[in-house]
Structure formats: C-alpha cells, structure tokens
Chains A and B, each alone.
Chain A
C-alpha cells in the first residue's frame, strides 16, 4: 500500500491517485474491506469487553462494597472547606466569609427538623452517646430500607445557626462543622486507654472523641468549644448501611467553635479524632484528623 507513496513521493498523488483511483494509497474497495475488517474486529473486542464488565458487575453486590481497604479508616472532613488548607476572612467584611457561612447553611439543611419528620425513615436514638445500633445485615431482606437516627442541628448550640446565621464568623469566633467520613458498615471503636489522649478529652465508651489543638506551640488558640454529644461522635449512629438501604442517613456532627482565637495572626489548628480503629497517615492530611490555618483579620 505504500509502494506508490515511495515511488514518486508526491503527497498529492498519495492523497488522491487518479490513475489508480486510490485515496491515501487505497482504492475504494480496499478501504471498504479494511474498514469492514476493523468494524468486525473492534465489534468483537467491544463485545468481549462489555461481556467482561457485565460479568464483573454480576459479582458485585449493590449493598456491600467488595473491598474497603482504600476508604477505611475514615477521613475527617469539615465544613466549610479550606482552600489550600487555610480559612481566612475579615470579620468586618461580610463578603470575605459569606462563602463559608453559606456552605455551612447548605451543609446543615438536612439536619433541620423539617426533613427528619418522616417516622418511617427516622427514629430517635437518644441525646446521650449510646452503643452501636445494628439494623440487620447488609442485604435487602424483609427489613427493607433502614431507619436513621435523628440528628438535630439545634444540638450544635452556638454553631447551629439559630442565633447567629454567620456561625460566629462576624465575631471572629468561627465554627467548623466536623464529620467523620461515612463508610458502609464501619464501626468506629472508642479509644481503649486514655494514655495517648490529650488531657482535656473525657473518655466515654460510646463516644469517639475529637480534640483540637494548635499545631505550633506559642500560638494563641484560646478556648475551643465542642458542640453536640459532648465533643465526639456517638456510636448509636453507626453503622452506616449504604446509599441504597439508608438513603437519608445523617452522620453525627461535631461543631467546633474557636471562641477566643487570636486575631490577625496565622493560627494552625489540628483536630483529631481518637479511636481504636481510627488511623492517621503522614501522607493523608484528612485521615482521622485535619489541619487548617485560620487567619482572621479585623
């Protein structure tokens, strides 16, 4: 097919050789044959591919992830999100923090009382930390969709937005809403001993405690307030049954308010959850902890 191209080297004749009626070195029928060949070839390949993927999907459960080794142990995420690991705003300029406050408002919408009314989907699990609330296996059995424990945003106190719709931002006492990333059927275990815990953390067998600290000594973090279940994630909200069985699932939240933070200074804060099966990683800054730089100017 290339002999012609080499023989006279003319690009024009290569593109269209009127003498042999060849386009790009092939006649119409030759193009048709090779085209047909590739249609069949790729058709077969695509068939094999789709077949394999279908077979793969058959082996997967819709309810139970095959493996969770990449997603567990869970990450710790906060709202509002930081940008390049920092949250900075000016308390005197509302435009600098509305993006944060609206993110919190948006995030807290499902936690309002109104969406949690449906008794068939929600249930009360008490306002004290309790042990795991098991709702059967990870299978779509007779139980059907699983109920979800209610979590009212009012429990977040000063950070609930009820009293201050800027969540403390305008006073320089910003709130961060923290949640433990959800993982299907994951049962977080509370810390066993308090040896490795910071002194301020009180040990509760049904609570995964969270604690924030300044990362560098000498910075003035001031008082940190924790709202919701005494500064931790209560166990009765676990396990999570997945998107299909528990579509309206609400994770327990902790609101952290930095109520006496030094203004006009870079403050690096690290928040950590503690638990038997909570891990931290050098490389993953959001696994079981997060750190964020707060710059509040006035």
Chain B
C-alpha cells in the first residue's frame, strides 16, 4: 500500500518536472524553425543583404561582425576556478567537519569566557579540522585540475580557415571572422565553417556523424527537400566535414546560433546529477551525525545528572559530538578515489571528477552511442557475394580476422571491378601507416573498396596503372551507378574493359549473364532469385550493398582510339556480366562484443542510442551482442508467426528497436514501460533531445546511467547521465566538456575496466570506512569514562588527531589495494537504495563490537600503566578533581607516595601513549580483518596485499617514533613507554581477529540467517 502510494506520488512529482523540461526542449526545437532553406535565393539575398555570386561587401560584413560577434562557439561557461575549489570544500563530510570546527570554536570560546586559559585543545582541534578540509580540498582540486589539463590538451588549437567571397573576390580568412550572409566555398576535406544554405554544389557529400550519428555520407545539393532544416539537403551544418565535391553557400547562422551551438547550449543547461558516492557519503554523514547527537545528548543528560553544571555538560556534549567526527576519513576517501583514478588513467580512462570513479561501478545501464563508440566509424567491406555464396571479409581494425577463399576466378573479376571502378586514392606518403588507418580522398564506400582491394590484391595504384583508364562516369544519384573503361594489361589484347558498379538492382537490370566460378552463365530466374536473396540478406544486416559487373567490349566495334563519351553513353551498357555483390558497413570495434558480454554478466544493460538508421543500428546491435542471439523484436515475431504486428504480445519480445519518430509519439510512461519490458533496447534516429529523454527515463526507473558518446549531439545526454563518458580521439570538444570521464583510446572495452575498478573501490571504500570508523569508539570511550567515573583522562585530543591523521591513514588507504573477494564482474550492480556504502550493520559492527573490544584493550592497558606506576584501578575512580588541581603538589597514590602536578601530568601523558599504542595494536588486527567481509582472511591471502603489509610496518614505526623520539612529551604529549605496555593489548588484538573469523564463518555457513543479517556488512 505504502509503496504504491509513494510510487504514484513520485511519478506525479517527476511529471511536472518533465513537463517543464519538455517545454524547454520544445523551445529549443522552435528556435530551429528557420525558413532560410525554403525561401527563394533572391529573398535570401535580400534578407542577408548579400549576393550569391559576388558575396557581401567587406564593409557590411565588418558591420555584421560587430553586431553578431565572431563566428565561434562560446566556450561553455566554465565554472570559475574559485567555485571549483569551493565545491571541494562543500561535500557531505566536509560540511560535517566545518560544523565540528565551529562547535570547537564555540567550546573554546566558552572555556575562555570561564577564565580557563590553559586548555587549547579545542582550538587545536578546530584548526586541525579546518586544515584537513582545506588540504584535502586542495588535493582534490589539484587532481581535477590535472585531468582537466589532460582533456584540454586534446583541443584542436589550429585556427580554422575559410574561403570566402566578398566584393566578388575570393579570399581566405579565419573562420572566426565569417558573418551571416557571407558566401563561402567548401570542398572535400574542409570543415564547414558555419551553418550554410547551399547555393551550388557538385557531388557534394558531408559527414554529419558528429551531429546526428549517421555514418553514411549525406548528399548536399541546392534543392530544398524537406521542411525540417535538419533533414533538408540544402543546409550544411557547422563543424560537419565535407567528404567530397565542392559547394558554395550563404551563411545563415554563425557561432552559438548554429545548430551545433544550440545543442552545446542545451548541454550546459542540463543540470549535473549528484554522484552516487556523494549520496552515499551524505547518507553516511547522516548516520554519523545521528549517532553523535544521540551519544552527546545521552551523556549531556548523564553529566547533568551526576551534578556537572549546565555549561560543563554543554562542553562535554560538544566534545562528544566532535569526537564522533572521523577526521581521517575525508583524506582516506579522497586518496582512495584518486588512487583508482590514477589506476584508470593508466588504462586510458581519464576521470574529470574524482567521485565519478565510483559511479561507473554502480552503473546499471549504459546508453551507448553507436558511431565511433561501438563501431570504428569507418566504412569497411564486410561481405561479398559471388559464386552464389556470401563471403565474410575481415572487418577487424588490425586485420587479425579470418579472410575468405580468394582462389575463385569470379573473385578475381570482382576485385578487378572494385579496384578499377573507383576514384578514391590514398593521400601520398602513408607507406608506414597500416592500410585501414590511411587517409583517403574519396567517398566512404569508394574508400572502403579502395582499402579492401589494397589489402586483398596489393598495391592498387600500380594495378590501376596497368589498366589504363580511358573514360569514366562518376556515380550520380540519377544513374545510381559508376563506370569506367580501361585498356587491358596484356598489350596484345586490344579489347577494352568496361567495369561498372552501383545500386544492385540497377546493375542487375543491365546484366544478362552472371559469373559463377569463372564461367559466364546466363542470368536466369534461378540466379535472379539467388541474387535477390543475397541482396535482402546483406541489406538486412544493415549493410550498404553495391553490385559489380563488367564486360569486354568488342574490339571491332570499339577499336583502339575509340572516343568514349561518358555523358552520351555511346557504348554498350547493357547485357553485361554480373560479378557479385559487395556490402559495406561501419563495423563494430573488435573489443566491443566481448565488452558488451562482460557488461551483461556484470548485470549491466547496454542500450544503443544512435542517430543512425534502425536497420543499421539493429544490425550492429545484433553484431556486438546488445541484441543477443535468439532475441526477437516484435516485428521479427510478427514475421516469424506471419501475423500482423499488432497481434504480437510485446512481452514476448526481448529486443526492441524504437526510432525517433515513434519515440516522439510516446508518452514518458510508455517509454518507461518499453524500457522495463524489453531488456534489449535499440533507439535509432534519435535527436539529441530524445537522447536526453531516454536517459531521464532510465533514471526514473532507478537505474544509474552511463552514457557514452562522441558527437556534439550526445553532449546533453552526457551531461544528464550519472556518468558521461566521452571519446578522447573522436570526441568533439562539446562532448568532452559535458562528460565526467574520457576514454583516451575510444575503446568501449575500457568502460568494463572502469566498471570493475568502480565496483572494487566501492567494496574497498566500505572496508576503509569500516576500519576508520572502528577507532572512533576507543577514542570516545575514554572521554565518556572520564566524565562519568572521573578517572584521569586516558586519551588526549592531540593523540587522537595523531591516530586519525597520521598512523591510521596509510593502512586505511592500503585497503584500496585489496583484491576483490569474489568475481565482482559476475555480480549484479548494486542497488542504490539497498546496498549502501555505510549501512547500519557496518556502523553497528564497527562501533559496538570491534570498537568496544578496542576500548576494553585501551582501558586494560591504561589501568595497567596506572597501577604499575602506583595508582590502583579503584583509586583512579573519582580521582579526577585532585588529579587536575594544578596547585596540589603532593597528591598521594596507592602507596602513599606524593606526586607533584607535573609528575601526574606526565603520568597522564603516559596513559595517552599507552592508550594510543593499544588502539594501534588493535587497529593492526582491524586492518587485517577488514581485508575481507565474507571470506576468511587466510583464503584471501594474508600477505598478498603488499601495500597493506608495508602500511602496518609504517604504522608500527611511526608509533615508535612518536613514543621514543626525544622531545615528544612536551610537544605532542607522547611519553616513552615500557615494552610490556605494548604487549598488553595484543590478546585483545587476537580476540578481534578470532572473533571476526568466527563472524565470517557464520556468515558463510548460514547465509540468510539471523547471524548473517545482523553481522554481515
């Protein structure tokens, strides 16, 4: 009942928020409603006071520049450095420490007001607390500063140039100086300098992948083909690249007013989510604060009851609350996180925000962009169909995969067509670079074919030289084919060879024979059907299919020197011989399927969110395992069962492909339902806003969402995600700015490493915190006993600070090096509502069990040291009044000996030291038991964690230094103590170890039992 009520309420609350967001998104969309692409050129000229042949006048351009400002994206309003620093000082733990410091100052003030000028402990404590916050703040700030620098170094510093026509003259100027109305000329290889309306174009193609995620080149031409500016062909967008061809256009938007600029602004408008670790730490601070106030109040009442004055009781209250603050914890958490950040950096994940390290570990959904993240962002030949068989080509980045059988005659012909009928060429001087990575001038599919032929038949340039080209017809969208005519390499053979490639159905139309195993066979019904099946199959894989054919031209009809006119087609272009099909795709990265698999076993759902076409998206998803084998979409089931889509029960379908159009019509509840019901999701043709909506929907379902992406279009989603992961090489600046983490090698598999490290650090932080919290009790109980039983103070404030900030820091950090207890990558991601960093059983076990044992150890040692020096335990009780009387110089001990005040004080320091040593000894035992939460320490390997071992040695050495270094008594209140006082707490240390082993044994033996529930943390 309760839950339902709560659920409804939550949804209601979110809805209003969502509506607001929608309004804002709607606003952004509205802004995009421009008609610059629809109006006639003349109107455009008038609107921007320009001319489509001579351009603007430079004087007017200058005016416009003054009005609109330079054509560049305003760097996202970077957080000012002081705000960044202040943020480091304002976390949950930091706030706790600020409050504690304030309380210390108040207590100190009260002491001063009461005329006690000797007690500076509170002041020291306050100063130390502030120092700890500031120092760790500086440390964290420095870490972030460093990773920001790494990221900044990626920025492209070369200023962009643009070819502009002004006053009728062509001129190269810096792209920054372009203004609306400028006439610019772009050619293959250029970056488009602003949003432009195309005026003229010659086979111009652009790569919009950074904007929309489509890996296919888009044709740009002067006609307006769509009312939506995003879809129309006559607008080219800022920061996309021209792949081939040339175009001129009039600038219609510059700088932040471009589409890219607007998306970037959208990203900066998206609020950052609180990291899970920050939430955990706040929860933990709540626990601490609650316990502190509970304890403080209890003893406040007790103190009043005993007969202390109100003011004294108040001071005790404050002291207890402050004593509960784990001073060392902040440093421990910061260091542990930065250690992991460092470890990740070595594995090519740079973390911008330390806390993001852990976020990856709690991630339950990864929304991954396709292009460039899952795929190589490089068209590659994937399949060939010849001899009536589909052959798979090697699509791996490093050509380590299997190749196909190349012995067939048909293959030779096919390769020849692919090699010759191809205008793409390598840029010169790239001999050292592996073929797949060489840069090519040419469109994507020709590039793919060029690389493919270069790989399979060797140096294609020489090959082409052997077949002299006499004529060619480049690909155009009306013909949908390209052809070229070559002389043969055999000088005696005077025939010409015509090679042609193009859209498979167009090619097939022109063929009358088909080449099978080197034999030309008539292209009958049977072969046509085989062709159709193959074509459908390859198309169904989301691949772009091209058909290839050739013919030897009759030497009588076309003798040497015949003038071929490609425009008139004065030669045979029918009854050709079909060679085969080649299909291309932007193939997934080799490491991705494995990484996706690992994510799955780790209980992480990988959702593909792409701007690309549904078929391609689905094919890649199936390829990398996002849609697993055997999973079907509703449509698949419909086809299999031969029933209409509407009659399929959507719950039967594991997989689901939703495209942007469908998404637009879905309510947020429907989207939630879809995400809930289909474990395998692919979103295609999504806009940046829709990516944002998908991320929000996942978060609404309680998931911790990681988003990967590289394009500008991903940046709002990256920002919105719990952790945004941008690609370091392919990523745009906008994406990197919005992300929390950057993969320097663009490798999706690095995310898996990140997840593993994140989970490990969560586990290990838990251990570190448990370790750090434990000693709070032995630090607090002396004070409580001091108040209630009036014994001489067993443990001083400075000593506590030494434990917290010196001796115990290294061991607590060393737990960060602990190996995982079990295979953490086989577990489900933690449930952020249930699996807390610090839960009650952790606090209770640390405080009231291990902490209690440590307290007893300390008191045993304390009473031993007192008794051996002449103060018997029973005498100690109630001793405090005289003991602390500075004027009493002859106080009698149990033997009747008289002690001066200073002698008593040094005895008190001895007690401090003895108590300190006891805590240290017990903490050594504590750090050993904290190595594991469930397994026996012996299974985990007692000495395996070398850092931990050295930490223990360090702890002992530092303890000895503090005890025996001359001068310590008067500076830090440490006294050289007798050897046997080190030994007194050892039995308690052993007790801790044995008790914890018993606890773990019980937890392992009886899972789910009372013991497990109460004692497993």
Contact = CB atoms under 8 A, between A and B. Distances in A.
Given A7-B6, A65-B895, A70-B910, A75 B889 contact: yes
B890 interface: yes
Contacts of B849: 41
Q: Which of B836, B859, B889, B991 counts the most chain A CB atoms within 10 A?
A: B889
Interface in A1-16: 1-3, 6-8
Interface string A276-298: 00000101111100100000000
B863 interface: yes
Interface string A220-250: 0000000000000000000010110011010
B889 A181 contact: yes
Nearest to A180: B898
A33 B1010 contact: yes
Given A60-B872, A284-B903, A183 B991 contact: no
B860 interface: yes
Looking at B890, B895, B906, B907, the one whose CB has the most chain A CB atoms below 10 A away is B895
Interface in B970-1013: 970, 978, 987, 991, 1010
Interface string A240-280: 10110011010000000000000000000000000000000
B859 A49 contact: yes
Given A3-B834, A65-B897, A77 B889 contact: yes
A42 B847 CA distance: 13
B156 interface: no
Contacts of A81: 887-889
B896 A68 contact: no
Contacts of B840: 1-2
A237 B848 CA distance: 53
A246 B2 CA distance: 77
B650 interface: no
Interface in B957-980: 970, 978
A77 B870 CA distance: 19
A2 B852 CA distance: 23
A84 B116 CA distance: 13
B956 interface: no
A249 B868 CA distance: 23
A181 B888 contact: no
Nearest to A13: B2
A78 B898 CA distance: 12
Contact of B6 (A8, A68, A240): A8
Interface residues of B, number: 49
A77 B902 contact: no
Contacts of A57: 867, 872-873
Interface string A162-195: 0000000000000000010111100000000000
A25 to B, nearest CB: 8
Nearest to B907: A70
Contacts of B910: 70
B853 interface: yes
Interface in A65-102: 65-71, 74-75, 77-78, 81-84
A3 B831 CA distance: 12
A41 B867 CA distance: 27
A66 B902 contact: no
B391 to A, nearest CB: 57
A66 B889 CA distance: 22
A67 B888 CA distance: 22
A26 B987 CA distance: 35
Interface string A19-45: 000000000000001100110011001
A242 B895 contact: yes
A6 B833 contact: yes
Residue among B872, B900, B987 with max Cβ neighbours from chain A (10 Å): B900
Contacts of B897: 65, 68, 71, 181-184, 240, 242
Contact of B870 (A41, A52, A65, A249): A65
Interface in B576-605: none
A183 B899 CA distance: 9
A201 B966 CA distance: 35
B71 interface: no
B1014 A37 contact: yes
A53 interface: yes
A48 interface: yes
Contacts of A199: none
Contacts of B859: 49
B111 interface: no
A66 B853 contact: no
A142 interface: no
Contact of A45 (B856, B887, B902): B856
A56 interface: yes
B895 A56 contact: no
A281 B860 CA distance: 31
A48 to B, nearest CB: 7
B887 A83 contact: yes
A66 B210 CA distance: 82
B632 interface: no
A284 B860 contact: no
A7 B841 CA distance: 18
B6 to A, nearest CB: 6
Contacts of B124: none
Contacts of A63: 895
Given A49-B859, A70-B903, A242-B895, A7 B868 contact: no
Given A77-B900, A82-B887, A67 B869 contact: yes
B53 interface: no
A52 B857 CA distance: 10
A126 B867 CA distance: 37
B63 interface: no
Contacts of A84: 887
A52 to B, nearest CB: 5
A70 B906 contact: yes
B893 interface: yes
B902 A285 contact: yes
B839 interface: yes
Contacts of B870: 65-68, 70-71
A63 B852 CA distance: 34
B3 interface: yes
Given A34-B1014, A286-B900, A53 B860 contact: yes
B864 interface: yes
Given A8-B6, A37-B1014, A45-B853, A71 B893 contact: yes
28 contacts: A2-B839, A7-B3, A41-B852, A45-B856, A48-B991, A49-B859, A53-B863, A53-B873, A60-B867, A60-B868, A65-B893, A65-B895, A67-B869, A68-B869, A70-B907, A71-B870, A71-B903, A74-B898, A75-B900, A75-B903, A83-B887, A182-B897, A183-B897, A184-B895, A246-B896, A284-B902, A284-B906, A290-B889
10 A-B pairs closest in CB distance: A243-B896, A75-B900, A284-B902, A181-B898, A286-B900, A77-B889, A66-B868, A77-B890, A65-B870, A286-B889
Interface of B: 2-3, 6, 833-834, 836, 839-841, 848-849, 852-853, 856, 859-860, 863-864, 867-870, 872-873, 887-890, 892-903, 906-907, 910, 970, 978, 987, 991, 1010, 1014
Given A41-B852, A179-B890, 20 more contacts: A1-B840, A1-B841, A3-B834, A38-B848, A49-B859, A65-B869, A67-B868, A67-B978, A70-B906, A70-B907, A74-B898, A78-B889, A81-B887, A81-B888, A82-B887, A84-B887, A181-B889, A182-B897, A286-B889, A286-B901
